[in-house]
Amino acid sequence: MSVRVRYAPSPTGSPHVGNIRTALYDFLLARHFGGVNVLRIEDTDRARLIPGCEDDIVESLHWLGMDWQEGPDRGGPFAPYRQSERKEAGIYDGWIQVLLERGDAYKAFETPEELAEMREYQQINKLPEGYFGGVWRDASPSQVEAAEREGKQGVVRLRVPRGRTIVLQDAIRGRIEFDSDTIDDPVLLKADGMPTYHLAAMVDDHLMEITHVIRGEEWIASAPKHIALFEALGWTPPEFVHVPVIKGTDGKKLSKRHGDTAVLDFRPAGYLPEALANFIALIGWSPGGNRELMSMDELAEAFTLDGLQPSSGVFDREKLDWMNGHYIRELDSEGLFERVVALAASPETSEYWSREDHASTGVGLKFAHLSEAARSEPEYAREAVVLLRERATTLADFAPACEFFFVEDPSMDPKAVEKWLRLDHVPGLFEDMMTALQGRDRVSVEECEALLRDWAAAHGFEKLGPIVHPIRVALTGSTVGPGLFELMALLGPRRMCHRLQEARKIA
RNA sequence: GGCCCGGUCGUCUAGUGGUUAGGAUGCCGCCCUUUCAAGGCGGAGGUCGCGGGUUCAAGUCCCGUCCGGGCUACCA
């Protein structure tokens, strides 16, 4: 069996993680079976269309490592791949005519106001809401003609058969039955001449020979309409795969209201695409057993519909953080540095970190420092980044964590100063260190360690803590950070002497 | 309200009639250690939503019930 799947977003906003997961499943299923992945843009809603959005869709997909064989950007045997263009090409009109002629669709001329009124009436009387006939489902041809002569703008609705059971065979949930009397007649063609999702998506899925329609669970309710349409047209429906929704920690379906769930926000926030993809794949799907750290290749190799789960999942940021840290630690030094520098230099990064929610972190400015250092002293900057690798959760962590390497006078944590610089032996310690380091070009890690250990021994300190901590505070302004000896060697004598001297003044 | 879907540690999940219900994350502790992490080891955390059945045996099958969610547009 040859698999043909499609990711069919509407360009009404940047893709968020729930949305992109279906794209991932499409991609993985196609790869697993050596099938074809199609990108189709469903831009039939002219009012909600956001210009530039298609670029975000393509960018999100590419960033996460997905590709497709047919789409608006690369054409294909079923082009065009934008529904607005397909509409222009007259692809949908023919089928509307067929439906109209067979009596499986009809024209309706209610105004939006009349429809709203009808809904209100249904609400008040606790009736099922929707269009179950109105005055037009059974209107005579002369009534329709009269309305058209008056120049009324009508829509075309599907005539859903009554008194029947419509069966949806879902790949995840199995057989789902609907009483067709509870299904209202959906609009197929809007008054502006554009097809609705119900018409366009089904026609395209059929014409493009899509074998599996992977879409969100929120579509289950309208699936019987789609099946009725397929039946009316005499087509065999594709396999429907309704994947569960992803919820926010509030238990509601993930949306833009949940903060940073736009896929493209994860990039400037310092997440690795391999981590995000791995993590998202595992919400609602499992390879079985205990596997969870998987590359895209492994994911594709393991992915089948069997592993899909019916119950919805919560997007757990903390677990994503862990996974992201894992992938950061897996990067080799060169690769890690490249990624951090690329992130630091990106305009997208400064835009993200200057947004209201993040501006107070100062990360934007710290990234600028990192960027500058990467240009002027690439070797030094690289070593600094590598020293922080074990401690990072996101790539954005490197900016604040490396900051002390890149500024002349790092900001001092007042609490750290109080705790470690007020000790009696500290002035002498700093002076001795300055003397030892003075005029030297460089020191090795081993030399730094010997320096401190010898001083401790000479002054009767059994533990290294009282020596190490004041020096760390003097050099970095903080009590936390990389191994002190490594950090000292990288900083070098010149920077150390300067900072020791500054610290000596307040000690 | 109506229609529909779902329900295993806080969270993501393994599990397809017989397991001390496993793993991961998060949390706690110990080890390592100059700090923080990372890493290693260990711990707490689940009456498998609840109640009935079927069966020698049920998280696994059936029914009911509760709770959660989705849809209810000339949006997708």
The string of pLDDT tens digits covering residues A357-372 is 899 999 999 999 999 9
Helix boundaries (H) for A104-177: 112-124, 141-149
Is residue A259 scored above 80 in pLDDT? no
Average pLDDT over residues A93-103: 97
Q: Of A377, A406, A435, which closes a domain? A: A406
User: Phi/psi of residue A168, each to 5°?
Assistant: -105, 125
- DSSP codes, A15-37: -BHHHHHHHHHHHHHHHHTT-EE
Report the distance from CA of residue A275 to the C1' of nucleotide B41 in Å, as an integer. Answer: 27
Report the distance from CA of residue A465 to the C1' of nucleotide B30 in Å, as an integer. Answer: 21
pLDDT tens-digit series, residues A58-68: 999 999 999 99
Is residue A79 scored above 80 in pLDDT? yes
| Strand B contact with A284 (CB < 7 A) | yes
The amino acid present at A93, given as its one-letter code, is D
Average pLDDT over residues A449-453: 96
Report the distance from CA of residue A288 to the C1' of nucleotide B24 in Å, as an integer. Answer: 13
Asked whether residue A255 falls in the same domain as residue A230, the answer is no
Supply the mean pLDDT for chain A. 95
pLDDT grade for A470, boundaries at 50, 70 and 90: very high
Asked whether residue A342 falls in the same domain as residue A453, the answer is no
In a domain, A323, yes or no: no
- Give the list of residues 6+ apart from residue A195 with CB closer than 8 angstroms, or none: A44, A83, A87, A92, A96, A188, A189, A203
| Strand B contact with A492 (CB < 7 A) | no
Nucleotide with the nearest C1' to A193 CA: B74
**Within 367-386 of chain A, which residues have Cβ less than 7 Å from strand B?**
none
Q: What is the pLDDT of residue A318?
A: 96
| Strand B contact with A309 (CB < 7 A) | yes
Q: Of A376, A406, A436, which closes a domain? A: A406
Asked whether residue A182 falls in the same domain as residue A268, the answer is no
Annotation marks residue A256 as catalytic:
yes
Q: What is the pLDDT of residue A276?
A: 98
Asked whether residue A188 falls in the same domain as residue A308, the answer is no
Asked whether residue A351 falls in the same domain as residue A468, the answer is no
In a domain, A342, yes or no: yes
Report the distance from CA of residue A13 to the C1' of nucleotide B52 in Å, as an integer. Answer: 49
Q: Say which residue, A253 or A49, is predicted with more confidence.
A: A49
Q: What is the pLDDT of residue A134?
A: 81
Is residue A133 scored above 90 in pLDDT? no
Nucleotide with the nearest C1' to A289 CA: B14
Is residue A162 scored above 80 in pLDDT? yes
Asked whether residue A105 falls in the same domain as residue A229, the answer is yes
Residue nearest to nucleotide B13 (CA to C1'): A286
The b/e string for A32-51 (b: 16+ C-beta within 10 A; e otherwise) is bbebbbbbbbbbbbeeeeee
Report d(CA A77, CA A247) in Å as an integer.
37
Report the distance from CA of residue A504 to the C1' of nucleotide B11 in Å, as an integer. Answer: 49
Q: Are A99 and A188 in contact (CB under 8 A)?
A: yes
Catalytic residue among A256, A319, A366, A463: A256
In a domain, A164, yes or no: yes
Three-class DSSP category at A121: helix
Average pLDDT over residues A206-230: 97
| Strand B contact with A305 (CB < 7 A) | no
Report the distance from CA of residue A261 to the C1' of nucleotide B26 in Å, as an integer. Answer: 21
Tokens, residue A77? 């045997």
The b/e string for A317-353 (b: 16+ C-beta within 10 A; e otherwise) is eeebeebbbebbeebeeeebbebbbebbeeeebbebb
Report d(CA A70, CA A68) in Å as an integer.
6
Q: What is the β-pairing status of strands A165-170 and A174-179?
A: antiparallel
Report the distance from CA of residue A292 to the C1' of nucleotide B13 in Å, as an integer. Answer: 9
- DSSP codes, A58-77: HHHHHHTT---SBBTTTB-T
User: Phi/psi of residue A453, each to 5°?
Assistant: -65, -40
**Within 243-262 of chain A, which residues have Cβ less than 7 Å from strand B?**
244-245, 247, 251-253
The dihedral built from the CA positions of residue A65, A71, A72 and A74, taken in this order, carries a sign that is: positive
Q: What is the pLDDT of residue A507?
A: 78
In a domain, A324, yes or no: no
Q: What is the pLDDT of residue A249?
A: 86
| Strand B contact with A124 (CB < 7 A) | no
| Strand B contact with A8 (CB < 7 A) | yes
Q: Are A36 and A4 in contact (CB under 8 A)?
A: yes
Report the distance from CA of residue A390 to the C1' of nucleotide B39 in Å, as an integer. Answer: 10
Three-class DSSP category at A285: strand
Asked whether residue A162 falls in the same domain as residue A234, the answer is yes
Is residue A1 scored above 70 in pLDDT? no
- Give the H or E element holding residue A204: helix A197-207
A446: domain CATH number is 1.10.10.350
A270: domain CATH number is 3.40.50.620
In a domain, A211, yes or no: yes
ipTM: 0.95
Report d(CA A303, CA A30) in Å as an integer.
10
- DSSP codes, A470-495: HHHHHHHSSS--S-HHHHHHHHHHHH
- Range in A57-61, A67-71, A460-464 the model is least confident about: A460-464
| Strand B contact with A462 (CB < 7 A) | no
In a domain, A65, yes or no: yes
List all nucleotides in chain B with at least one atom under 7 A from a protein Cβ. Answer: 1-8, 10-15, 22-26, 34-39, 68-76
**Within 421-460 of chain A, which residues have Cβ less than 7 Å from strand B?**
none
In a domain, A327, yes or no: no
Beta-ladder partners of A7: A39
Asked whether residue A109 falls in the same domain as residue A131, the answer is yes
Asked whether residue A58 falls in the same domain as residue A71, the answer is yes
Asked whether residue A106 falls in the same domain as residue A213, the answer is yes
Q: What is the pLDDT of residue A394?
A: 98
Query: The whole model's pTM is what?
Result: 0.95
Residue nearest to nucleotide B74 (CA to C1'): A190
Report d(CA A31, CA A13) in Å as an integer.
27
In a domain, A29, yes or no: yes
Report the distance from CA of residue A264 to the C1' of nucleotide B40 in Å, as an integer. Answer: 36
| Strand B contact with A505 (CB < 7 A) | no
Q: What is the pLDDT of residue A255?
A: 76
Q: What is the pLDDT of residue A30?
A: 98
**Within 177-196 of chain A, which residues have Cβ less than 7 Å from strand B?**
177-179, 182, 187, 190-192, 194, 196
Asked whether residue A376 falls in the same domain as residue A453, the answer is no
- Name the residue among A173, A159, A238, A171 with its Cα closest to residue A202: A238
Radius of gyration of chain A (CA): 31
Residue nearest to nucleotide B37 (CA to C1'): A391
Tokens, residue A387? 């020293």
Three-class DSSP category at A53: helix
Q: Are A506 and A421 in contact (CB under 8 A)?
A: yes
Average pLDDT over residues A1-29: 95
- Give the list of residues 6+ apart from residue A113 with CB closer than 8 angstroms, or none: none
* Number of domains comprising chain A: 4
Q: Of A243, A267, A290, which closes a domain? A: A243
Q: Are A192 and A218 in contact (CB under 8 A)?
A: no
Is residue A431 scored above 90 in pLDDT? yes
Report d(CA A284, CA A59) in Å as an integer.
24
| Strand B contact with A316 (CB < 7 A) | yes
State yes or no: cis peptide before A378, omega within 30 of 0: no
Q: Are A39 and A71 in contact (CB under 8 A)?
A: yes
Asked whether residue A305 falls in the same domain as residue A340, the answer is no
Domain that holds residue A260: 4-87+246-315
- Name the residue among A212, A213, A283 with its Cα closest to residue A248: A283
| Strand B contact with A81 (CB < 7 A) | no
* CA angle A219–A47–A78, rounded 5-degree value: 60
Report d(CA A384, CA A370) in Å as an integer.
10
pLDDT grade for A175, boundaries at 50, 70 and 90: very high
